[in-house]
Amino acid sequence: MFFLIFKRFVLGLITLFIVSLITFIGVEILPGDACTSYLEREAFGEALAACIKRLGLDVPAHERYLSWAFNVIQGDFGYSLSGQMQINEVLGPRVKNSLVLASAAIIIGIPLALILGIITALWRDKMPDIIISTVAIFSMTIPEFISATLLILIVAIWLEWLPGIVIVPTDVTFFELLPNIILPVIAIAMIMTAHMARMVRSSVIQVMASDYIQMAILKGVPYWKMVFKHVLPNALLPAINVVALTIAWLLGGVVVTEVVFNYPGLGRLVIESISNRDLPVVQALGIILASIYVSINFIADLLTLMLNPRLKTLQTRK
């Protein structure tokens, strides 16, 4: 058990090391270095020399990687080109805003997905299942920018209930932010809930068809007692990994939603830094988003291991 956790942890670290190599080499082999792409037509003479000096582009690539990686481990991502400030200062409020958005979507999404998933599974192919599943297919297949645009059109423009876009500065306080996040949270939670509910549904259906549930039915265990005591604990275990993947998607993949609602989070920073060709920030974002993905998956693995007694006695797992 301990060995398994340790192995997972080391694999995660190796993945992150490869990610750091990919982001570094990727920026290196694409045409133009950080300075020429950022300065564009003014990339000559003193401005270029000063920029190269500041980013240390005059030293060989492998030395630059080592010093960059060493600083990143200590939590220092260097300087942003466009804002002339430390990347950590740029990232801080963005991470906070994205966390607010993500936690709100998770708090609404997970319980809703569980309830809907269980309902659709228990009333499989009946009216509730058909209605909920159809809505779920729509909300998970339609692109984020379409559902977000439609939400703005209907709720903000036609009904005039809520503000359509977020117009707050990046370093806004939590309570000022709150009324602005309702629409973005709905847009994100819709997709997330649909994916998770579908997973919960098929997992519950699988368990319902198993031998021990047939046995419980034949023994005459009351229906709801059987659902809560025998079906759900077994059905929800495999759902943990999907929830983890969905959360990881949520933190990295809300770029489009944040742009539609003009929300000052990490996603909009991705677009801003790429439009400004601010390559040091792009590298930092790559590493941060990948670390979030890897650590969430690691936590999900830990949870699965702890909750599944069958895996505790296993020494190795493929």
Partner 1 sequence: MENSKNIFNEDPKSSLVKVLDIITTMASKPSGFIGLAILIFHVTLAISSPWFAPYDYKAINPSLMLNAPSSEFWFGTDSLGRDVFTRTILGGRTALTITFFGSIIALLWGGLLGIFCGLVGGRIDDIVMRIVDAFLSIPWILAMLLIVSLLGTTTEVLIPALGFFYGKGIVRVARAATHDVIAKDFIVSAKARGHSNLSIIWNEILPNVRDAILVEGAMRWSWMLLGFSSLSFLGFGVSPPTPDWGLMISNARGLMSFAWWAVIAPIVGLSSLIIGINLTADAFAKALGIDRSTKAPV
Using CB under 8 A, list all residues that contact partner 1: 11, 14-16, 18-19, 22-23, 26-27, 30-32, 37, 137-138, 140-146, 149-150, 152-153, 157, 195, 198-199, 201-203, 238, 241-242, 245-246, 249, 252-253, 255-256, 259-260, 270-271, 274-275, 277, 282, 285-286, 289-290, 293-294
Residue 127 vs 157, nearer CB to partner 1: 157
Residue 162 vs 221, nearer CB to partner 1: 162
Contact 24, 284 (CB under 8 A): no
Rounded to a whole number of angstroms, the minimum distance from the CB of residue 291 to partner 1 is 8
Neighbours of 111 (CB within 10 A): 11
Half-sphere exposure for 190 (CA within 13 Å, toward CB):
23
Beta bridge partners of 79: 86
CA–CA gap between residue 263 and residue 94 (Å, rounded): 10
Rounded to a whole number of angstroms, the minimum distance from the CB of residue 175 to partner 1 is 29
Residue 138 vs 212, nearer CB to partner 1: 138
Q: Which of 8, 13, 1, 23 is nearest to 287 (CA)?
A: 23
Rounded to a whole number of angstroms, the minimum distance from the CB of residue 218 to partner 1 is 26
Residue 216 vs 278, nearer CB to partner 1: 278
Beta bridge partners of 86: 79
Task: Classify each residue of 205-238 as buried b or exposed e, where b means 16 or more C-beta atoms within 10 Å of its C-beta.
Answer: bebbeeeebeebeeeeeeeeebbeebbbebbbbb
Residue 115 vs 245, nearer CB to partner 1: 245
Residue 242 vs 311, nearer CB to partner 1: 242
Going 277 to 281 to 284 to 285, the CA torsion angle's sign is negative
What's the Cα-to-Cα distance from 282 to each of 32, 65, 81, 279, rounded to whole Å? Answer: 15, 15, 11, 5
Rounded to a whole number of angstroms, the minimum distance from the CB of residue 55 to partner 1 is 17
Rounded to a whole number of angstroms, the minimum distance from the CB of residue 167 to partner 1 is 14
Rounded to a whole number of angstroms, the minimum distance from the CB of residue 12 to partner 1 is 9
Report the run of H or E that residue 170 belongs to, with start and end.
none
Rounded to a whole number of angstroms, the minimum distance from the CB of residue 243 to partner 1 is 9
CA–CA gap between residue 187 and residue 263 (Å, rounded): 13
CA–CA gap between residue 113 and residue 243 (Å, rounded): 10
Residue 51 vs 296, nearer CB to partner 1: 296
